[in-house]
A and B are shown apart, each in its own frame.
Chain A
């Protein structure tokens, strides 16, 4: 959290800034002490995100203090004001309570993926799905997963879909929703479809700045709805974040990386404060030795809580999902779940082949004494 103060005086200004480890940056411009006869007006302006407080301090040299003392006093006072601008602390019990009450797990509807993720997408977390798009005949599988979870979760709350590739297909979602509805009367089916489809919101985004802007707006909207108790968004999908970041990343200027990281921070903040599950998709690039890996590089790597890689075997048409990173699970072992999918229009019906579950590679054994069987 960045809190910034400006102390402005009339006349000449000198400024001092200090940075401490907590990320609080302090700037104070101090009145030039060579003119003691004039009254000194200092304005302390504290800005903390959107809320703004203004403290007016008027300094009059009544006592024969030396003016440098006075300035020191006022600077200390200004700094003490800003010390009150930090987030209140929480105890572990409160955190656990918050997690139990507000951080639900949203099932994606794909059994295999749900098993891997420990029940589904967890609210308050940033989940990344990466997958190749055009290795020959591969379907944009990650998008299928996205659409699938959107259609599944929309039953419970709103889903917001930020679309960068014009790939949001309402037709497809309608198909999936109808598949799940089971044997219902036609009218009930219609109504259900309308209800679910109305709770999926979609917005096209073509620019990283547009994204940051939208997230900012979303934040103030959510703040408002929390107060008034309006509708609740429980899943935010960005498909795909890599296509927004690719045009700015790399080169000599660090600005691209800065924007990428700040987008990540905003997403995690939204996820935490408003109990959203955030799902972003990433594409794959060829790494060293021709092995493909998720794009966006090292600095993105530690931003998502969960990283999932999906791939598809072209002959058997079996989709494989691999967990690269999971904050809630035993770290450092990769397990694989397979699910099949038909190539015709019903290919959303990815069925779990539980028999094929296997642990591919166990690098480090259970850190938390979780038996492997519990992971499935």
Chain B
């Protein structure tokens, strides 16, 4: 393996190369002080380089002689049985769950976008509440991370949705059981609220920082089963002159989120805004952040108005066909669409 392929900074790499080190083996038997002298760098830095080198050397050694030694490789057969065991997080709306085959998938990044007022934040809060439904009642019994960049998270609304969710569970029981259940501690809306970890983000630097911090946070909070970012776009749509730089930052961030989703087996839900795009002589509404961002989510759901009804449309998914389903936003949260739920027009 060559030095150029090591995860070290560009300046370190060029120093190594100009000092005549090109392969791992040329570095393997060096002492840190020797390297520090050769490269004219701090001892600490030399130590870090050598650590990276020895890690890489260990990895390439461990594969010798074992053909199955590629780390993290799974066969599709194993993954299939794993996928069939997988629980999904319900959205609260049966029609929507149906087209999503059970709800939002864990281990994947799902992007939800739509015009203002369509119910993106509502869906975000609903998911943060629904993930906490105990396993016995068909949920995950998990916790939620809510990253709020716009300041649109309303705690009263979360309380209300939690109440709606509790009542939904209670509806399945007889009066007698209901009384017993209602006294239990987890059945209080406040306990639902205590399991939502809320981060308020005020700039894109903070957003990058929190994405990096999540890895550590999720190690300490193993129960977290969903991460909602509301919205991923907000800070990136303003104060950004260098679009190439924005693309780089965003694609790096999306890879981190992908990794979080896979390693911790949790659902990442990104809420996105819409923008207009000029194609073939007319303007279309499309999700913000451009074409390259559209590759950075596993699934994409677009929320839109159809006449007076709200609809969700699966725009992109590796496993699901495109389909759309109506839903409505009620005081209890996201529910099936009913005919009397009309859009209130404020004219």
Question: What residues of chain A have their CB less than 8 Å away from a CB belonging to chain B?
Answer: 2, 4, 6, 15, 17, 25, 27, 45, 47, 49-50, 52, 132-140, 143, 147, 154, 160-161, 164-174, 194, 197-204, 206-207, 209, 212-214, 216-218, 220-221, 224-225, 228, 230-231, 240, 242-244, 246-251, 253-255, 258-259, 262, 283-286, 290, 292, 295, 343-345, 347
Task: Contacts A137-B315, A202-B75, A242-B292 known; list 4 others, CB within 8 Å.
Answer: A133-B316, A170-B76, A171-B83, A197-B75
| B56 close to A213 (CB less than 8 A) | yes
Given A202-B73, A202-B79; A286-B291 close (CB under 8 Å): yes
Q: Which residues of B contact A254 (CB under 8 A)?
A: 10
Nearest-CB residue, chain B, relative to A256? B248
* Cα–Cα, bound, A172→B79 (Å): 12
Q: Which residues of A contact B84 (CB under 8 A)?
A: 171
Residue from the list A143, A243, A292, A343 in contact with B254, Cβ < 8 A? A243
| B319 close to A169 (CB less than 8 A) | yes
Q: Which residues of B contact A147 (CB under 8 A)?
A: 318
Nearest-CB residue, chain B, relative to A194? B77
| B298 close to A290 (CB less than 8 A) | no
- Cβ-based interface call for B1 (8 A): yes
Nearest-CB residue, chain A, relative to B319? A169
Q: Which residues of B contact A284 (CB under 8 A)?
A: 291
Q: Which residues of A contact B108 (CB under 8 A)?
A: 166
Nearest-CB residue, chain B, relative to A215? B5
| A243 close to B295 (CB less than 8 A) | yes
Q: Which residues of B contact A136 (CB under 8 A)?
A: 279, 284, 286
- Cβ-based interface call for B158 (8 A): no
- Cβ-based interface call for B258 (8 A): yes
Q: Which residues of A contact B254 (CB under 8 A)?
A: 243
| A217 close to B63 (CB less than 8 A) | yes
Nearest-CB residue, chain A, relative to B2? A2
Q: Which residues of A contact B255 (CB under 8 A)?
A: 164, 206-207, 243-244, 247
| B321 close to A209 (CB less than 8 A) | no
- Cβ-based interface call for B20 (8 A): yes
Nearest-CB residue, chain B, relative to A230? B67
Question: What residues of chain B have their CB less than 8 Å away from a CB belonging to chain A?
Answer: 1-2, 4-7, 10, 13, 20, 22-23, 25-26, 56, 59-60, 63-67, 69-77, 79-80, 83-84, 107-109, 244-245, 247-249, 251-252, 254-256, 258-259, 261-262, 278-279, 284, 286-287, 291-292, 294-298, 300, 315-316, 318-319, 321-322
Q: Which residues of A contact B294 (CB under 8 A)?
A: 133-134, 283
* Cα–Cα, bound, A277→B80 (Å): 25
Minimal beta-carbon separation of A201 from chain B (angstroms) = 5
Q: List, sorted by A's number, 28 A–B pairs whose CB atoms are closer than 8 Å.
A: A6-B26, A27-B20, A47-B22, A134-B286, A134-B315, A135-B279, A136-B286, A139-B316, A164-B255, A165-B295, A166-B108, A166-B262, A167-B318, A168-B76, A169-B319, A170-B83, A171-B80, A171-B84, A201-B76, A206-B262, A207-B7, A216-B60, A224-B66, A254-B10, A283-B291, A283-B295, A343-B321, A347-B321
Minimal beta-carbon separation of A217 from chain B (angstroms) = 5
Q: Which residues of A contact B279 (CB under 8 A)?
A: 135-136, 290
Residue from the list A137, A214, A228 in contact with B322, Cβ < 8 A? A137
| A197 close to B63 (CB less than 8 A) | no
* Cα–Cα, bound, A166→B300 (Å): 13
User: Which of A204, A230, A248, A284: most chain B CB closer than 10 A?
Assistant: A204
| A200 close to B76 (CB less than 8 A) | yes
Given A4-B22, A242-B295; A140-B262 close (CB under 8 Å): no
| B73 close to A209 (CB less than 8 A) | no
| Closest 8 pairs between A and B when the two form their complex, measured CB to CB | A134-B294, A247-B252, A197-B77, A200-B76, A169-B319, A246-B251, A170-B80, A209-B7
| B25 close to A52 (CB less than 8 A) | yes
Q: Which residues of B contact A201 (CB under 8 A)?
A: 70, 73-76
Nearest-CB residue, chain A, relative to B287? A134
Nearest-CB residue, chain B, relative to A245? B251
| B291 close to A221 (CB less than 8 A) | no
Residue from the list A134, A228, A249 in contact with B316, Cβ < 8 A? A134
| A220 close to B295 (CB less than 8 A) | no
| A132 close to B291 (CB less than 8 A) | yes
| B251 close to A220 (CB less than 8 A) | no
User: Which of B63, B65, B70, B80: most chain A CB closer than 10 A?
Assistant: B80
| B316 close to A217 (CB less than 8 A) | no
Q: Which residues of A contact B79 (CB under 8 A)?
A: 168, 170, 202
| A217 close to B318 (CB less than 8 A) | no
Nearest-CB residue, chain B, relative to A266? B5
Q: Which residues of A contact B249 (CB under 8 A)?
A: 247
Minimal beta-carbon separation of B303 from chain A (angstroms) = 14
Minimal beta-carbon separation of A52 from chain B (angstroms) = 6
Minimal beta-carbon separation of B49 from chain A (angstroms) = 14
Q: Which residues of B contact A212 (CB under 8 A)?
A: 5
Minimal beta-carbon separation of A216 from chain B (angstroms) = 5
* Cα–Cα, bound, A250→B4 (Å): 17
| A259 close to B5 (CB less than 8 A) | yes
* Cα–Cα, bound, A80→B319 (Å): 58
Minimal beta-carbon separation of B72 from chain A (angstroms) = 5
| A253 close to B10 (CB less than 8 A) | yes
Residue from the list B56, B261, B322 in contact with A166, Cβ < 8 A? B261
Q: Which residues of B contact A170 (CB under 8 A)?
A: 76-77, 79-80, 83
Q: Which residues of A contact B73 (CB under 8 A)?
A: 160, 201-203
* Cα–Cα, bound, A253→B286 (Å): 33
| B22 close to A143 (CB less than 8 A) | no
* Cα–Cα, bound, A184→B332 (Å): 50
Minimal beta-carbon separation of A240 from chain B (angstroms) = 6
| A225 close to B295 (CB less than 8 A) | no
Nearest-CB residue, chain B, relative to A150? B76
Q: Which residues of A contact B107 (CB under 8 A)?
A: 166
Nearest-CB residue, chain A, relative to B297? A165
Q: Which residues of A contact B67 (CB under 8 A)?
A: 221, 224-225, 228, 230-231
